[in-house]
Amino acid sequence: MAAKNLNFYAQIMVLVIFSLMLLMKQGVAKESEEDQSFLEKLEQLENQEVITSKTINNRCQALVKDRDYRLQLKQKANALKKRVQRLQKNVPPKKIYLVKKLDYIMTEINQELHLINLQIVSMEENIVRKGCPGVKI
């Protein structure tokens, strides 16, 4: 709870500082020499990258790319599942072989979806554990 409040207050402070910067640039608020040096430091911080190590950045990009691939697989499997469900409704009950085959395919799709979901959760935990900043899951 305290961490959430701290994060909230930090965001408010950043908004206040940037709104003051905007007002000063527009000439609404007058800036002193201290404000000028403070604003210059803020602009320098704004231009710096959060991640300085390229290896961390590359590793994070690879993890996120792999997670996105798994999410695409999940979407394709869900679409396939809907198609099979629609086929199950339309297949006449007299065609026993087709009914059994569609049931078998449906169980395979469900198992595959379960595995994909586990992999996605594992990848999200890896992304958080490896410390990829700025990644929204």
Give whichever of 17-21, 25-29, 55-59, 108-112 has the largest mean pLDDT: 108-112
* Predicted local confidence at residue 29, as pLDDT: 52
Query: Is 6 or 45 the better-scoring residue by pLDDT?
Result: 45
In terms of Cα–Cα distance, which of 136, 87, 80 is closest to 113? 80
Would you say the C-alpha torsion 47, 52, 54, 57 has a positive or negative sign? negative
**Which residues lie below 8 Å from residue 134, measured CB to CB, with a gap of 6+?**
50, 51
* Residue from 61, 67, 56 nearest 121 by CA: 67
Q: What is the pLDDT of residues 37-81, one digit of tens each?
A: 766 766 666 655 555 566 667 888 888 889 899 999 999 999 999
Half-sphere exposure of 10 (CA within 13 A, CB side): 6
- pLDDT tens digits, 96-109: 999 999 999 999 99
Distance CA 74, CA 117 (A): 8
pTM: predicted TM-score of the whole model, two decimal places: 0.55
Domain residue ranges of the chain, discontinuous segments joined by +: 2-47, 54-130
- Which whole number is the average pLDDT over 83-96? 90
